[in-house]
Amino acid sequence: MKPTPSHLAYVPFVSVENMMRLVNATGPERFMAELAGYIEEDFKRWPEFDKTPRVASHSQDGVIELMPTADSENYGFKYVNGHPKNMREGYQTVTAFGVLSSVANGYPILFTEMTVLTALRTAATSALVGKYLAPKGAEVMAMIGNGAQCEFQALAFRAICGINRLRLYDIDPAATEKAARNLIAQGFEVVKCASGNEAVEGAQVITTCTADKQYATILTDNMVGAGVHINAIGGDCPGKTELHKDILLRSDIFVEYPPQTRIEGEIQQLPEDHPVIELWQVMRGELPARRDAKQITLFDSVGFAIEDFSALRYVHDRIKGTDYFAPLDMLADPDDPRDLFGMVMRAA
């Protein structure tokens, strides 16, 4: 007699195809705006989370990381790799998947692709931070680095901050062409630029999002004028930064989780006691956001586990009652929990 797994054995699985269906049915801008709401909600209850820096396994060509976090109800983690050379070989630089579980019994309640979802949550986080830090009335964003993250950033900043004019630059003109094509189709006003210097002209927000795993200088000090908000996405692992140190010294630096950002972010260039401002305190109103029109604000984004947790919560809520998932037989569920062996034998 072959046992039929009970409902306890099944975990809802959101494949890449189903994630894309969900995003398209929702619309990417609404998806990211709603997701930003979940992220903001979780940042505002920051002290409730069990936080730990990500667990990274570095190799010559890249890194594989596990990013766990939990509140009293749910546990979530993301698996994510970062391999800059992948793109040249036809693979994604970053792929990811994740799991949300019940803290009460340890059982997974959602297993989902997170390559697409990470792009969405990264952009949603940037734009959420932009809502607090971008100068009033910002309309123009420079985007340096026009890879896989670029369009998501643009849409999120439009949905959440109202930015509709983009100035694009990438060392690879084909990347800029690709991003411009996609973004014009989305109704943006796009200027393709021949240099980073040209891109930042007249921009109130500067997004840097390049992929090389090395100390780079995407922005030099002279490129950053007073009053700008810098959204620095690409400096996100040890040895990888994008901004000249002098920019950091002129900026107020906002971070997700200091113990992780000091290792992985732009501020790895600074002494360990350099002051930073924690975004959860800004969102709770405990610390000021942008103070004045001259201040240079910098979001030193590295991506923190709580953002993935919010994304897992959002997807878990969104798929209820839909067919954007398939049940996956990934948990053993014997009739008698002590009789795992009997279950295996009876399956013969």
Tell whether residue 330 is a contact of a copy of itself (CB under 8 A).
Answer: yes
Q: Which of 121, 167, 178, 316 binds a copy of itself (CB under 8 A)?
A: 178
Tell whether residue 209 is a contact of a copy of itself (CB under 8 A).
Answer: no
Q: Which of 12, 28, 135, 235 binds a copy of itself (CB under 8 A)?
A: 28
Tell whether residue 29 is a contact of a copy of itself (CB under 8 A).
Answer: no
Query: Shortest CA distance to 264 belongs to which of 317, 307, 304?
Result: 304
Residue 178 gets which letter from DSSP?
A: H
Touching a copy of itself, residues 116-155 (CB under 8 A): 116, 119, 146-152
Q: What angle do CA 38, 20, 188 make, to 5 degrees?
A: 80
Tell whether residue 249 is a contact of a copy of itself (CB under 8 A).
Answer: no
Q: Is 197 exposed, middle or buried (0-12, 13-18, 19+ CB in 10 A)?
A: middle
Q: Which of 35, 40, 101, 218 binds a copy of itself (CB under 8 A)?
A: 101
Q: Which of 90, 137, 187, 321 binds a copy of itself (CB under 8 A)?
A: 90
Give how many residues touch a copy of itself by CB under 8 A: 82
Q: Which is nearer to a copy of itself, 132 or 257 (CB)?
A: 257
Structural contact between residues 118 and 96, judged by C-beta atoms closer than 8 angstroms: yes
Stretch that binds a copy of itself, among 21-29, 193-201, 245-253, 312-320 (CB under 8 A): 21-29
Name residue 219's beta-bridge partners.
243
Q: Which is nearer to a copy of itself, 127 or 267 (CB)?
A: 127
Tell whether residue 77 is a contact of a copy of itself (CB under 8 A).
Answer: yes
What residues act catalytically? 236
Closest contact distance (angstroms) between CB of 266 and a copy of itself is 23
Q: Which of 34, 87, 192, 197 binds a copy of itself (CB under 8 A)?
A: 87
Closest contact distance (angstroms) between CB of 53 and a copy of itself is 10
Q: Which amino acid does the sequence have at 56?
A: A
Taking the alpha carbons of 321, 323, 328, 329 in that order, is the dihedral positive or negative? positive
How far is CA 197 from each of CA 169, 188, 202, 324, 342, rounded to the nearest angstrom?
Answer: 9, 21, 10, 44, 69
**Contacting residues for 159 by C-beta, under 8 A, at least 6 apart:** 29, 30, 32, 33, 127
What kind and span of H or E run contains 122?
A: helix 115-133
Tell whether residue 35 is a contact of a copy of itself (CB under 8 A).
Answer: no
Tell whether residue 347 is a contact of a copy of itself (CB under 8 A).
Answer: yes
Taking the alpha carbons of 153, 129, 216, 260 in that order, is the dihedral positive or negative? negative
Closest contact distance (angstroms) between CB of 88 and a copy of itself is 9
Closest contact distance (angstroms) between CB of 234 and a copy of itself is 14
Closest contact distance (angstroms) between CB of 99 and a copy of itself is 7
Q: How far apart are CA 129 and CA 304, in angstroms?
A: 13
Tell whether residue 113 is a contact of a copy of itself (CB under 8 A).
Answer: yes
Q: How far apart are CA 342 and CA 348, in angstroms?
A: 10
Tell whether residue 334 is a contact of a copy of itself (CB under 8 A).
Answer: yes
Q: How far apart are CA 269 and CA 244, in angstroms?
A: 9
Interface characters, 156-175, with a copy of itself (x: CB under 8 A): -------------------x
Q: Which is nearer to a copy of itself, 225 or 334 (CB)?
A: 334
Residue 338 gets which letter from DSSP?
A: T
Q: How far apart are CA 218 and CA 223, in angstroms?
A: 10
